[in-house]
Structure formats: C-alpha cells, structure tokens
Amino acid sequence: MELNAARWLSQLGRRFGKKMTVCHIPDEVLDEIKIAGFDAVWLMGVWQKSPKALEIARNNPELARAISYQAPNFNKEDICASPFAVYDYSVDRDMGTEDGLIKLKKRLNDRGIMLLLDFVGNHFAADHPKTLTDPDLFINTGTTPPVAHPDWFFKTDNGVYIAHGRDPFFPPWTDTAQLNYFNPKTRDFMIETLLRVASLCDGVRCDMSMLSLNKVHHDTWWQFLKEDAPREEFWTRAIARAREKNPSFVFIAEVYWGLEWEIQELGFDYTYDKILYDRLRFASAEAIKGHLGAEHLYQMRSIRFISNHDEESTLKAFGRDKAAAAAVLVSTIPGARMFYALQLLGYKTNYPVQYAGEPADGDEGVREFYKNLLSITNNPSFHGGEWTMKQILGVNDSETYKNVLAWEWAQGLEYKLVVINYSAAQSVCKIPFKNKCKAIYCDFPGRQELLAEEICKNGLTLDLKPYEAKIYTMYL
C-alpha cells in the first residue's frame, strides 16, 4: 500500500487529536493495515524536504489551481515540498526521528509487514548542499552558461550552472538537480546513500529507475557529458552492494518505455506494469489477455496497479463500474499488487503529492467494496497457489464471450476461480470444468453456494452485466 507520509500523518493527527509522527503511530492503525491484508507499506516522502522545493510549491499557481479544484478553501500551509526533491536522506524533522522510523519498521515487521521507502536516484533537490560543495556530482557546464537548452539549467550561488532533473519526454523538474551517472564519484556517492537508506527499511521503491541506465542517461544528456559511459550499469553494482548487507532487501522499480525486463535482469525484484494499466484503461479484454500471457517470471516480478500518486483517480480514469472490475483483476493475477491509499478510501481526485490537507470527497461504497475484495483476496490461494488462464466458450453463437477473462488459482484441494466481463456490453460465456467438485461457492460480490454436481458436469454458464466480476471457491 502506498501512503503519502505527510498526508497520512496529517490525517492521523486529525483522527487522534494530536500531532502525529512516525514515532507515535498507534497500534490500532498498524493492526488495521495488517487486517486489510497488506504485507508491505510504501511510506512515500519521509526524507528531509527541500526549503527551495517548498518555496516553489507554495508559489506555483498551477499546483494551487489543482488543489483548489477539489479543496477551494485549502490552507497554503498544507502544501509541502515535493517528496521527490530530496534535500537529505534523513527523516524529515516534522515527521519524527530516525530512531522512531526504525522502531516503526520493527512494529510493522512484527505484524508481517515490510517497510518500503523512497530512493530517488536520478536527482536531488536543487538546493542540496552538494550542489555547492561538489557540483561535479551533477550535470553542469561549470561557470559558463549552457549554449544548448539554457532553460534546463539553474545557476547556483557559487556561479555554477547545474541541470535540473528531467525525463527526456517532459520539461525539467525545476525543484531538482540532475546527477551525473557517468562520473564514478557520483556512483560511489549514490551507492553509499542507498546503503544508508537500506539500513532503515526492508526495501526501496526506486523513482524513475530507467533514467540511470547508461543508454538513457547518454541519450538524455549527451551534449553535456564529459565522461565515457561506464562499462557496468549503476543498478547492477548498487543492488549487489545492498544485498551484501541484506540478501533479502527488496528493490522495486518505477520503469516505463518497455524497459521492464531489462531492469528486472539487473536484479530488481519488481517493476511497474504500466502496460497493463494502459490496457485496462484503454484496450479490450483480448489485449489484456495477451499481456497476461507473457513469460511467467516476468509476470511474477510485475507490480500491478490501477492507481498511484502519478495517475488520475480510478473513479475519474475508469468510471465506477470499470474501476471495480479492474480492481478485481489486478487483485487476482500473479505478481505484486499495489494500492494507493486514496484509491482504497474512494476519493474521486488524486491530489498533488505536495498537498497534505484533508481530502474531502471519499466514497463509503468504494471503501466497502475494497474491504470486501481485500478480505477475499487475502486468502493464501491467491498468493501461493498455481495460476492458470481458463478456457472460455461461447453460448448460443454469441461472440460476447471474447469480452470475458477467467483464471484460476489452485492450492491443494481448494481452487479459486475469477471471471470478469471486462467490457461495457452484456456478455455470456461458459467455463468448462475438468475436475469434479464437492462444493462450489460464489464469494464475490456476495457469498452463495452453487450446485457443484451440475456445474462440474455441464460447465459454468454465466450471463454477465457490463464490468461484472465474480470470484468462486471450489473444493475438490
């Protein structure tokens, strides 16, 4: 589960009537996370915030408009610096202490929950002390103004022109300073930084991980690089060093552009599955099925999601019924499953990450939906069973069976069957059965016992409403 640390602590403060830090999270809050079925918490944004990034955020009219659209009476003090413009990898003073974070990790671990933190490897905050004391860690042109793309750079108080961090397909992030990964000193510094972060948590979510790949870094910054490309990828060495100290340390990559497999091959445990997200949002059931047919190891290392801090809210992006079907889908396929706190609470808007105020548009029906879904998918069969796609047959010459997706999880004598009509059309289909079942229950959306003997003999025939999803339990 992804939690915006500033917003979460602010909400807990209002709930319990006192200032909340990572040092004082009540047991009942951690118990609620465990009961909901989560085995990892990504506490996004615990690191020391940048004063410059805070100034930029509070004076950004576009950010203010984005917040005021849903919270017209918001307090400017509820705007914080971007968590991705890291000033220092120490716990932000407003959020607690390092000792408190270590104790929170232990309390989560005692409940079987991992603590994941940010590692923003591509850049630091534009006012990071190293921009003054060691500017060659960053892409820079020295004291000579850049001839090409001057708008990508800023001038430090020492008169050095340093590039802002950037994705090559978008404008620069003006609250950041771009690291130079072709400088061996930068690599050494960032590995030491990573090792420090790794001492405080069970794993890291690596922001925009592909930007540090040699080819991507070269293609983005070739005009300003003085050094040749290193022979080794940064992540290969960095991951190896971290695992020398903790072999079970988890690496999660935010990665796009079809580079997921390449990043996995460098040692990452999990990579974002943005391809699935886009297909769920824009493509047909057949296209989704094609993606789910990819190599099994790739599937197991993929993080499935339909919301995070970068995407639109699920209700806005998908619509209520389609969002529910997509949620069932990502909750019941192989790989890791990531949920965003605002998604679970039914908020209609994904507020900017800099906003720590109280969202005002939660939906109780969505909350109950996720409570029910997560309680069902917390079953061990969905995590340790054997997953296979199911054959789907047509009924009465109808072609609508192509709108339907189905798979099963087998663990011992218990099978879980998931059937989803991922379309806006009424769809009919039949799911054939090879095994005899002693009992069959429909678990989702509600509990109901079915006639096992008849279904095992004739198959399960379904007439599904648009975006209707069902989850069954079968006992052999």
The DSSP 8-state label assigned to residue 311 in this structure reads S
- In this prediction, residue 298 carries a pLDDT of 94
Q: What is the pLDDT of residue 353?
A: 95
Residue 151 to residues 73, 155, 173, 174, 187, Cα–Cα distance (Å)? 34, 11, 11, 10, 26
How confident is residue 439, by pLDDT bands cut at 50, 70 and 90? very high
Q: Tell me, what's the pLDDT at 447?
A: 86
The pLDDT, as a whole number, for residue 388 is 95
- The pLDDT tens digits for 73-112 are 899 999 999 999 999 999 999 999 999 999 999 999 999 9
Residue 20's closest CA among 34, 36, 2, 6?
Answer: 6
Taking Cα atoms as reference points, which of 40, 45, 39, 38 lies closest to residue 22? 45
Residue (of 206, 181, 313) closest to 260 by Cα position: 206
CA atoms within 13 A on the CB side of 78: 21
Please tell me the distance from the alpha carbon of residue 325 to that of residue 469, in angstroms, as a whole number: 6
What values do phi and psi take at 50, rounded to 5? -85, 125
Q: How far, in Å, CA of 88 to CA of 312, rounded?
A: 29
CB atoms near residue 475 (< 10 Å): 13
Q: Distance between CA atoms of 313 and 69, rounded to whole angstroms?
A: 14
Which is more confidently placed, 222 or 435? 222
Q: Where are the domains of the chain?
A: 2-125+182-383, 384-475
Radius of gyration over every alpha carbon of the chain, rounded to an integer in angstroms: 24
> 446: pLDDT confidence band, cut at 50, 70 and 90?
confident
Residue with tokens 């998931």: 418
Give the model confidence (pLDDT) of 170-206 as tens digits: 999 999 999 999 999 999 999 999 999 999 999 999 9
| Interatomic CA distance for residues 6 and 79, integer angstroms | 10
Number of H helices, E strands in the chain: 19, 22
Q: What is the pLDDT of residues 261-305, one digit of tens each?
A: 999 999 999 999 999 999 999 999 999 999 999 999 999 999 999
The answer to whether the CB of 218 falls within 8 A of the CB of 225 is yes
Residues contacting 73, CB < 8 A, separation 6+: none
Q: Between 3.20.20.80, 3.40.50.920, 1.10.1040.10, 3.40.50.2000, what CATH number should domain 2-125+182-383 receive?
A: 3.20.20.80
How far is residue 271's CA from residue 262's CA, in Å, rounded to a whole number?
10
CA 69 to each of CA 310, 319, 348, 350, 357: distance values in angstroms, whole numbers, following the listed order: 17, 19, 12, 11, 14
Whose tokens are 């589960």? That residue is 1
| CA separation, residue 333 to residues 267, 301, 329, 365 (Å) | 22, 12, 7, 24
Q: How confident is the model at residue 466 (pLDDT cuts 50, 70, 90)?
A: very high
Task: State yes or no: pLDDT of 359 exceeds 80.
Answer: no
- CATH number of the domain at 384-475, out of 2.40.30.10, 2.60.40.1180, 3.50.50.60, 3.30.420.10? 2.60.40.1180
Cα dihedral: 77, 200, 311, 37 (round 10) = -110
Locate 355 and state its tokens: 């906003």
Burial group, residue 248, by CB count within 10 angstroms (0-12, 13-18, 19+): exposed
How far is the C-alpha of 213 from the C-alpha of 185, rounded, in Å?
Answer: 16
Which H or E run contains 130?
helix 130-133
Token pair belonging to 140: 């820079």
State pTM to two decimals: 0.96
Beta carbons within 10 angstroms of residue 221's beta carbon: 19
pLDDT band at 440 (very low <50, low <70, confident <90, very high): very high
**Beta pairing partners, 427:** 464
Q: How far apart are CA 226 and CA 228, in angstroms?
A: 7
Note whether 444 and 471 are within 8 A (CB).
yes
CA atoms of 65 and 216, how far apart (whole Å): 33
Residue 362: the pLDDT is 82
- The pLDDT-based confidence of 348 (bands split at 50, 70, 90) is confident
> Counting beta carbons within 10 angstroms of the beta carbon of residue 451, is it exposed (0 to 12), middle (13 to 18) or buried (19 or more)?
exposed
**What rounded mean pLDDT belongs to the chain?**
96
Instruction: Indicate whether 451 pLDDT > 90.
Output: no
Kindly list the distances between the CA atom of residue 306 and the CA atoms of 38, 86, 322, 341, in Å, as whole numbers in the listed order.
16, 26, 11, 12
Residue 82's pLDDT is 97
